[in-house]
Amino acid sequence: MPSKPFHVCATAVLFAFATAAPAAEPIGVNYVAATDRIHTAGQPTAETLAGLAAQGFELVVNLAPPTNQGAVPNEGKLVAEGGPTYVNIPVDWQHPTYEDFELFSAVMKGARERKVLVHCQLNMRASAFTFLYRVIDEGVPPAEALVALQKVWIPRDQWADFTAMVLEKNGIDFELPKAQ
């Protein structure tokens, strides 16, 4: 008799695994869930963009210029038709500005309760801006916010300078690790 309850239990467990929902697909290259609410990624496909609402996203912020290699034509239309709000802040890779960050920060502050996808071409702009936003506007300790940034990269060159400048302008004394 003891083997029968085990058999039923094992069958129930196997059934539960067989019917469980599949894990969510990554949204784009270098995808990172920085928090439950803020996710970052490289350029999503047109199909992924059209389905973001089904994943609970309410806002999509694209930090890449629409002329970037691999950009999805009519990205804003694809996203908005699905329901989320779409904002494009075309940050120049060679010359990110404090004004770019201020605009990004204002958009993110207006979406405090919404699930947000921040993306760019490879998740480098997006992860750096998200790191800065979390530290400056959400008060997350820099070392804690750095964890999500390091899953993608450590900013170097103009991006290390930009990150240091934004932190300094906001009175935050933190130095990024040196890029390899």
How would you list the strands of the sheet with 32-33, edge to edge?
32-33, 38-41, 116-119, 59-62, 85-88
In this prediction, residue 6 carries a pLDDT of 36
CA distance between the termini of the chain: 63
Under the banding of pLDDT at 50, 70 and 90, the label for residue 180 is confident
pLDDT for the residue 133: 98
The pLDDT of residue 4: 41
Tell me the pLDDT tens digit for each residue of 4-42.
443 333 333 333 333 333 334 579 999 999 999 999 999
Give me the pLDDT at residue 1, please.
43
pTM of the model: 0.86
Tens-digit pLDDT profile for residues 57-105: 999 999 999 999 999 999 999 999 999 999 999 999 999 999 999 999 9
pLDDT of residue 37: 97
pLDDT at residue 171 greater than cutoff 80: yes
Please report the pLDDT score of residue 82 as a whole number. Answer: 94
pLDDT of res. 2: 45
pLDDT computed for residue 25 by the predictor: 53
Structure tokens that stand for 157 in this block: 């060159």
User: Can you list the positions of beta strands (E) in 9-146?
Assistant: 32-33, 38-41, 59-62, 85-88, 116-119
Task: Report residue 3's pLDDT band, with 50, 70 and 90 as the boundaries.
Answer: very low
Task: Provide CB contacts within 8 A for 57, sequence distance 6+.
Answer: 39, 84, 115, 116, 117
The residue assigned the tokens 């009519």 is: 74
- Note the pLDDT tens digit of each residue in 110-141: 999 999 999 999 999 999 999 999 999 999 99
